[in-house]
Structure 1
Amino acid sequence: MITFLFRGLMYVVSAGLGLIAADLLLDGFQIQWDKWWGFVVCVLIFAILQTVLSPWVSKVADRYAPVLMGGIGIVSTLISLVVVVLLPIGGLRITDLTGWLLGAVIVWLITALGSVLLPLLFLRKKVDAAKGRRGSER
């Protein structure tokens, strides 16, 4: 259960980092910082949608368009972004085609990298701490 929560937290953090990176890199991708609570809700909803949509989009693509199987992550990211932007809570706006297309790629890439690298970073600290305890017990 703790592992599940840890992975979920790492995914939410990586989704937030992906959205922030897209905000910093693209003019048409805007986090509304004056509605910070909306952004937090957007990150949570985005992470949940990604988790639910990826397997579903994968099944649909496998059945109807096997050629799209390589782009499943980007497609589910784009769908999640559409839903989050359309929610009336605020927090995230995408105003142009570049923001939509490159934003989806940036968020997908950062989220994918974060999902792999963030757990390794935290696990490395835990392993180093355990080695330190074992070394001091000798």
Structure 2
Amino acid sequence: MVRFLIRAAIFLVTAALGLLVASWILPDFNIEWGGFLVATLVFAIAQSVLSPFIFKMAHRYAPAIIGGIGLVSTFVALLIASLFPSGIQITGGVVTWVLATLIVWLVTALGAWLLPLIFLKRKAGARDEG
């Protein structure tokens, strides 16, 4: 249970970081600070629900795109999160959407890969000592 909570916290932190990095890099990607928490939660929940669904659909109907599942789910999660008022606003065109998807996906993928190595390894080490 503790491991699940750590992974959920890591996912929320990486989602927030991904959104922040995109807002810093892309001028047409704006975050309203009052709705940042809601946007992060909506994005993280949408992505965690959509990833397995999109994977299942792609596996069944379009196996060639299985490698891009993370990008597709990130794009759809950004789209859903942008529908909520006072959160994120992506006012640019297709280029901004594509770059935002790539940036957020890259940050969340790196965070989801690196942070568990740090935090879960530390937790396992503390458990072994005790």
1:1-32 CA-partner distances (Å, limit 9, x unpaired): 11111110010001101111111111111111
- Secondary structure of 1:55's aligned partner: helix
- The percentage of counterpart residues that share the same residue type is 49
- TM-score, with length taken from structure 1: 0.84
Count matched residues.
Answer: 129
**CA–CA separation in structure 1 for the residues paired with 2:90 and 2:44:** 18
55-64 or 10-19: bigger deviation:
55-64
AA aligned to 2:7 is: R
SS at match of 1:27: coil
3-state SS of 2:27 partner? coil
Cα distance in 2 for residues equivalent to 1:52 and 1:42: 15
Q: Deviations over 1:14-71 (max 9, x none)?
A: 11011111111111111112x2xx1101111111111110010011111222111111
Please state whether the residue corresponding to 1:103 is helix, strand or coil. helix
1:116 positional shift: 1.4
Amino acid at match of 2:16: G
Distance apart, 1:108 and its partner CA: 0.6
Any conservation in 1 of the 2:7–2:116 contact (CA below 8 Å)?
yes
Paired position in structure 2 for 1:6: 6
Instruction: State the shift of 1:79 in Å.
Output: 0.4
Q: Report what 2:45 is aligned to.
A: 48
Amino acid at match of 1:104: T
Partners of 1:127 and 1:2 lie apart in 2 by 11
What does residue 72 of structure 1 align with? Answer: 69
User: C-alpha distance in 2, partners of 1:47/1:29?
Assistant: 17
Normalization by structure 2: what TM-score?
0.89
Greater C-alpha radius of gyration: 1
Q: Any gaps of 5 or more consecutive residues in structure 2?
A: none
- Structure 1 segment 37-116 matched on structure 2, within 5 A: 38-88=35-85, 90-96=86-92, 97-116=94-113
**Partner deviation per Cα, 1:79-105 (whole Å, 9 max, x = no partner):** 0000110113x1211011222111011
Matched residues in 1 for 2:84 and 2:116: separation?
Answer: 30
**Contact 2:10/2:116 (CA < 8 Å) preserved in 1?**
yes
Q: CA 1:75–1:128 in 2, change beyond 3 Å: closer, same or farther?
A: same
